[in-house]
Amino acid sequence: MDEEFRKLFERGMNARSPEEGVECFKKCLEIEPNNVYALNNLGIALYELGRVDEAESYINRAIELNPDYADAWYNRGIILSDAGKHEEAIQCFERAVELNPDDAAAWNNMGLSYFERGDIEKAIECYMRSISVDEGHVTAWYNLGVAYYSSGKYDYALNSFKKALSLVESVDILVNLGITYGKLKMYKEAMECFDKVLEIDPDNSAANYNKLVLENIMRREGKLD
């Protein structure tokens, strides 16, 4: 590997801003125009700057040069998913996990695209596969909870949110855990979740709203002290 290329690539990978990354990877491509790693990482940096069309063109070029480059398929899937093109995104994620079955992020994001498409069962399968690869994948546990909740499987949703919360404390997880507790008529636990969120973020609109809803339900059922 060319020494100048190596230094520029390393600098790009450790860039403190997307702008710096773009500068470094473009200089890399002046030295090696067909380097798929520089093309892919330039695409990522451009995407972070909101230059989506340019980003996609560089990542597509990387795939053209190396159709077995799993990371480039994954990144193309992210771009398509964010653009709402979930069918195309799923195809990209499928290719990514075909090449790298242990890519927990690709399984998780494929699940998100299936969920957005309305195929909750397929989404659940993908989240479960992500977790089987990386049991500590917080986002996959959270997304699994959302999918189970959406399909009315509240007990499963509860367990998923509790697992996510055991990995990281998050107001989003706490809010959804509280909502799920409420669905299961576990009002004390639900209130504790909303109160915990409001200790962290007193202005959290989701927690404030759901706490009011819960209080009204408990009042109607004569369970509010």
Q: Could you read off the pLDDT of 154-209 as tens digits, one per residue?
A: 999 999 999 999 999 999 999 999 999 999 999 999 999 999 999 999 999 999 99
Q: Do domains 3-163 and 169-225 have the same CATH topology?
A: yes
pLDDT tens column, 22-55: 999 999 999 999 999 999 999 999 999 999 999 9
Average pLDDT over residues 67-79: 98
Instruction: Tell me which CATH code domain 3-163 carries.
Output: 1.25.40.10
pLDDT of amino acid 225? 66
- In the CATH scheme, what is the homologous superfamily, with its name and number, of domain 169-225? Tetratricopeptide repeat domain (1.25.40.10)
Q: Give the pLDDT band of residue 223 (cuts 50, 70, 90).
A: confident
All residues at 6 or more sequence positions from 24 whose CB lies less than 8 Å from its CB, including other chains: 8, 9, 11, 12, 15
* Contact in structure between 177 and 166 (CB atoms under 8 Å): no
Q: How would you class 220 by CB atoms within 10 Å of its CB: exposed for 0-12, middle for 13-18, buried for 19 or more?
A: exposed
What is the value of pTM for the model shown? 0.92
Extents of the domains making up the chain: 3-163, 169-225
